[in-house]
Amino acid sequence: MDEKINIDINLLLMGKGPKEPLPKSSRVEEVLHQAPTIEVITSKNSKKLLQSQISDETCIPIPIISEAVADTDPLNIKEEDIEGFVLVNQAWVKPGHTYICLRIRGNFMHPIISDGFIVAIDLNENDPLRVERHIVAARSKYGITLTYLMLNEKYYVLLPHNKSRFKPIVISKTKPNPIIGKAVWWWGKQK
């Protein structure tokens, strides 16, 4: 018979902390049980489903939109442009910020973010100087690219995580700001 043993999270992550098992009702267990759940809803009746799923004010629906819509104007989304919704706990969003979700195509950021992952983008975080060295959604000649952003005097440099398969994308600063927003969370299953 397997026995469940509670071990301090600091011991597991950093090798520090008590080495003896914790009592059954540990703080770690409490935090894990409080983690918000994410549910993706896709359907023609998504509004009805969404209304039934949100029983109180703790969850916020974030639309999943296509890459084509995000590439043109992610702030003006029509109902037919919405693939579905991701429900997130309010604690995950900054007040006054606007979010969209994209389903990622390709492995530019593999293994961190892979093909098929859903990524939440904060549209208010699109100032290149503020999001440099972060993962951003950016417009490029290849469509929407999820990438690290680096800046120099003349260029926006979009760096892949998967450097063995992809080369950086360089965009002149004489062109309009290519940054749609900062990637704030992502969900998916590694293949």
User: What does the pLDDT profile of the chain (191 residues) look like in tens digits?
Assistant: 444 445 555 544 455 555 555 454 444 444 444 444 445 555 556 666 666 655 556 788 899 988 777 777 777 777 888 888 898 888 889 988 999 999 998 899 999 999 999 999 999 999 999 999 999 999 998 888 999 999 999 999 999 999 999 999 999 999 999 999 999 999 998 77
3-state secondary structure of 141: coil
C-alpha to C-alpha distances, 43 to 47, 64, 86, nearest whole angstrom: 9, 12, 13
> What is the DSSP annotation of 26-74?
-HHHHHHHHSPP-EEE-STTHHHHHHHH--STTEEEEEEE-HHHHHH-T
Residue type, 118: I
pTM for the whole structure: 0.69
| Domains by residue range for the chain, with CATH | 1-35 (no CATH), 36-187 (2.10.109.10)
